[in-house]
């Protein structure tokens, strides 16, 4: 059933409101990645001399170029980890717009959900971002002990966190904070699995740029299915 929720989200991918949010999200994500990359390259430029002189080799001038290309490959790899906090920030900023587009198309009989106060969204997003960073920092230690199973641990940890946050934000629009929390606890396993299915493609460069929009839409369908809403 979770895959059916995702299929519905994918079927609405070219909705103008989806595309608007997607373009904004991609622009912000790329700006973050390029900003981090530019800062990293600048640090390398400060630390690396223009030339090296090696015994029996002489003057070497290509080290900076090699480090530059290596840093680009490194940033592509780091985008896997950077996209998780980007997805979490996306929750507070754009989830309501995506959820409204889904509900207008698939659940027209519902009473319109009131917009959550921006201050509440920002506070929740900042708190969740801090939790995300803290948990993943601790998980880095565990990754060294699990070897080839590190990706599975990464998906499990971030799937739990992202599923928890996305479902909570969608459910709060209709049930309030306490009602959303109670429902989240009731369907804990389903929400965690859906979160893992969201976290896994966040590990794929370029594909991960699309996931925040599709994730927000998928969790909107998931909430309404579990809540008994009727899809048109």
Q: Is the pLDDT score of 163 beyond 90?
A: yes
Q: Is 97 exposed, middle or buried, given 0-12, 13-18 or 19+ CB atoms closer than 10 A? A: middle
Q: Are 215 and 8 in contact (CB under 8 A)?
A: no
pLDDT digits (tens, 9 = 90+) for 119-153: 777 777 777 777 877 887 787 788 778 888 888 98
pLDDT value of position 160 = 92
Structure tokens at 4: 């059916």
Query: pTM for this structure?
Result: 0.79
Residue that has been written with the tokens 């790899």 in this structure: 77
Q: What percent of the chain has pLDDT above 70?
A: 76
pLDDT digits (tens, 9 = 90+) for 40-64: 666 666 655 555 554 554 444 544 5
Return the domain boundaries, the chain.
2-227
Mean pLDDT of the chain: 79
Contacts of 229 (CB under 8 A, 6+ apart): 107, 110
Across 27-37, average pLDDT: 74
């Amino acid at each position: 059933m979770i895959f059916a929720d995702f299929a519905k989200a994918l079927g609405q991918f070219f909705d103008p409101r989806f595309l608007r949010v997607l373009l904004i999200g991609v622009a912000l994500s790329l700006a973050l990645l390029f900003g981090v990359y530019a800062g990293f390259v600048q640090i390398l430029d400060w630390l690396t001399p223009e030339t090296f002189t090696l015994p029996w080799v002489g003057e070497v001038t290509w080290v900076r170029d090699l480090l530059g290309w290596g840093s680009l490959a490194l940033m592509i790899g780091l985008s896997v980890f950077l996209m998780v906090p980007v997805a979490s920030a996306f929750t507070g900023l754009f989830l309501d717009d995506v959820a409204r587009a889904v509900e207008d198309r698939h659940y027209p009989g519902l009473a319109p959900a009131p917009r959550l106060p921006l201050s509440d969204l920002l506070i929740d997003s900042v708190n969740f971002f801090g939790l995300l960073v803290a948990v993943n920092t601790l998980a880095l230690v565990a990754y060294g002990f699990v070897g080839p199973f590190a990706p599975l641990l990464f998906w499990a940890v971030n799937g739990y966190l992202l599923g928890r946050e996305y479902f909570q934000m969608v459910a709060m629009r209709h049930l309030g904070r306490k009602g959303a929390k109670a429902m989240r606890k009731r369907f804990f396993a389903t929400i965690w699995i859906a979160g893992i299915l969201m976290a896994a493609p966040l590990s794929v460069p370029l594909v991960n740029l699309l996931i925040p929009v599709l994730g927000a839409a998928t969790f909107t369908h998931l909430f309404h299915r579990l809540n008994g809403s009727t899809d048109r």
